[in-house]
Amino acid sequence: MFGIIVSAFMLTFGIFLKLTKNPGFAQNKKLAWVFIGIGAISLVFKIINYK
């Protein structure tokens, strides 16, 4: 359950980085796709393997 929450947070944080207009996060725009990818893939596999 904890892994699903962490994966969802990573996905949400990646989307936040992609959509934000805050200049403080401007240097982290390239990391947005990394967070989105890792968060989405791990979330899918955690949901598939959830028992």
Domain residue ranges of the chain, discontinuous segments joined by +: 1-49
Provide Rg for the chain, Cα atoms: 12
Task: Write down the pLDDT at residue 12.
Answer: 93
Per-residue pLDDT, 23 = 81
Please name which of 7, 18, 16, 3 lies closest in space to residue 40, comparing C-alpha atoms.
7
The H or E element containing residue 51 is none
Query: 1-51, pLDDT tens digit by residue?
Result: 888 899 999 999 999 988 888 888 777 778 889 999 999 999 999 988 876
